[in-house]
Amino acid sequence: MTSISKIALACAALVAASGAFAQKAGDNIISIGLASINPDASVGPLTNTTLVPGGGGATYGMLLAGTTANVSSETTVAIGWLRMFTDNVGAELTMGLPPTVTQDLTTPHVPGSTSHPGAARIDVWTPTIVGKYFFGAAQDTWRPYVGLGVSRVSFHNISINRADPAVLGLAGTSANLSSSWTPVYNAGVIYNIDDKWSISASVAYLPIKTDATFVGTDGTTTGSVKLNTTDYVVKMGYRF
């Protein structure tokens, strides 16, 4: 065999080896990184039929009209497991450390202060599974993808600001936010460093809706809360 032929074969082998990236059928990729959670909160009409003492027939529900909420953005650890069923189709299960968000309230018609910073602190759980379609071929260094999935959203360890009389009157006895399923719309890209390691960046949108039930000295208040949430995630992955 000539030297040129040997060089050509060596180059072909090198190309083949360098092209042996993820993601291909049968691959499992575990990943860990950071997720930035950014909720956009809105409060629906709140119902409370308890009469306000000396209010001339007004109810606490009337005083709560126009209530708005703001929920803090938080950063947490995200962990994922991606299973590839074909070279282009896979599914990823994502979990992580539940972030604790802070909820501020504004009540324009409640006597006294209308602003209630730190009204509640809430742990949010969002285990998620997303089906993903990867563009390009398995040997590509860059693999953009789009995904659609579902998340089970639940709220835990709700604590209220008991130093705020209005918050105490609203939810001093109990506060509950219902669990719900929500769709997940996802897009991102994976950069394959070599045949084992990769870096991924993605964005996901979750239109979360929950039913709220608060019990306090002002009676029982019910209503709906929307948390249209955008998540930005960067992770390091390992294929096996």
State yes or no: pLDDT of 3 exceeds 60.
no
Q: Measuring CA to CA, which residue among 28, 76, 37 is closest to residue 198? A: 28
Instruction: Report in angstroms the alpha-carbon separations of 155 from 12, 67, 92, 209, 232.
Output: 55, 20, 23, 12, 20
State yes or no: pLDDT of 164 exceeds 60.
yes
Rounded-to-integer distance, Cα 137 and Cα 144, Å: 11
User: What pLDDT score does 111 carry?
Assistant: 83
Q: Which domains does the chain have, with CATH numbers?
A: 3-239 (2.40.160.20)
Burial of 91 (0-12, 13-18, 19+ CB in 10 A): middle
State yes or no: pLDDT of 65 exceeds 50.
yes
Rounded-to-integer distance, Cα 98 and Cα 77, Å: 8
Residues 5-53: tens digit of each pLDDT: 443 344 444 334 444 566 889 899 999 999 999 999 999 999 999 999 9
Residues 213-236: tens digit of each pLDDT: 999 999 999 999 999 999 999 999
